[in-house]
Amino acid sequence: MTAADALTDLLAYQHETEALVGVAGRLDWDQETMMPPGAAEQRAEESAAMSGVLHARRTDPRIGDWLAASETAEMTEAQAAMLRHIRRDYDKTQKVPGKLAAEIARVTSISQGKWAAARAADDFTAFVPWLTRVVALRQEEGQALANGGDPYDALIDNYEPDMTAARLDAMFGEMRPRLRTLREKVLGQPEPQGLSGTFDETAQMAFATQLATTFGYDLTRGRLDKAVHPFSSGSGSDVRITTRTNPTDPFNCFYSTIHEVGHACYEQGIDAGYALTPLGQGVSMGVHESQSRIYENQIGRSRAFTGWMYDRMSDSFGDIGVTTPDAFYAAVNRVRKDFIRTESDELQYNLHIMLRFDLERALISGDLKPEDLESAWNERFEKDFGFAVPRASLGCLQDVHWSIGLFGYFPTYSLGNVYAGCLHQAMRAAIPDLDDHLAKGDTTPATTWLRENVQRHGGLYRPAEVIERACGAAPTAGPLMDYIEAKFIALYNIQ
């Protein structure tokens, strides 16, 4: 077999694997949106079976042979990047026994339903046995992947290659005091008026659809549905999103939608030639979050865009409780004492992530036992935010992530914010009249810049390299913190 033949065979094999990954993703999407509740046990077996098939494909010894044989082949930059991803995935998957991979898929599929029931009942104790099993499985996986190193670093690497807990800890240590100081100043000011009234949930979904298309989401290659926890799923020509509605809080629906549209537009914006290859999806969760957060915050919560949004909301809902664009902008960006991460303002959001980062790191290391999570959460929350958590659904049961085993995932949310801060600074420099467009509801200059500088590359470059190429400098927390401080100091008239 020639090197060229080996490369051709390897990429053809990977094409089929990527197609099966898409099928597995559709199973997860269906479980969250359409699956009847009585099907949970069967779906767990289906997910475990699919996980076993994928694990077997990813550990097929022919991959190692093809990788070795293809090293001397002439290849394009994209093909070389594909091989980098395949080799990384192959090396990691080789370390995890197939039985463990299948058990993780089976248990997390069931655990997700158990979490939803416990959350609805505000009963953390009922979820403890399942959390204990999930933590133990991820500990075992982390130890297998770490090969003597830090298991939590190995789990982070599943979502943000080349990142470590130590680097994140240093970054968070830089951000935390500035966030806390600003938070204290802002909460010492009068709170802006929020929206009032009842907002029809069917009308909310119609407005959410309008927002999705305003930000460039292609509904011929996607769909918008409702779920308990908003998410985006899929890649290429099938990218689906979900949102949720609340009759008294339409911002929950609208900004969840814009957030997930950011994820979806990243996937839809990847070079079509990368479809069903290792380059055909976002390169990391940190870069993915940079897209969802810049869509949601720096664009969607800007003074210019909220002015346009105010007029459209008034047309759709009538009296919304605020009567000027400036009051609406203040309501969109209102900082208040609250418990829910996904509903948090830009100022406090990263404090939520830092809390989760420290707790899940302790769970994986064994320093925190699963049965003690609720008390540890409540103690840390009161320390960081200054008030007590009244029930589990507002505390440690509010997020789905740990129920489905996504340990190492949470810190990528704040890393995405950091990346978004860098991208926003570069984008504003490149498009000086951006606000003129946003004031008309025209996001095209912003979304086009992001597509050209970030999204189209897919997995071609390493995560930090994507941001550095777009911004001209390595990513740091400085631009994000400067943006947050400037925005909220002005909004709250802090001297």
Q: Which residues are annotated as a binding site for Zn(2+)?
A: 259, 263, 289
Q: What are phi and psi of 285, to 5 degrees?
A: -75, -30
Active site residue 260: yes
Cα separation, 491 vs 191, whole angstroms: 11
CB-based contact 328:322 (threshold 8 Å) = yes
Task: Compute the distance between CA of residue 129 and CA of residue 433 in angstroms, rounded to an integer.
Answer: 55
110's CB contacts (< 8 A; 6+ apart) are: 40, 41, 44, 130
Tell me, what amino acid is at 219?
L
Name the phi and psi angles at 226, rounded to 5. Answer: -105, 145
Residue 493 half-sphere exposure, CB side, CA atoms within 13 Å? 5
Look at the block and give the residue holding tokens 């997700």: 112
Catalytic residue, chosen from 18, 32, 103, 260, is 260
Q: What's the N-to-C CA distance of the chain in angstroms?
A: 72
- Residues facing residue 238 across a β-bridge: 235
Give me 132's structure tokens: 């204990």
* d(C-alpha 48, C-alpha 42), whole Å: 10
Q: What is the CA radius of gyration of the chain?
A: 22
The whole-angstrom separation of Cα 15 and Cα 284 is: 20
Q: How many residues make up the chain in this entry? A: 495
- Residues acting as catalytic residues: 260
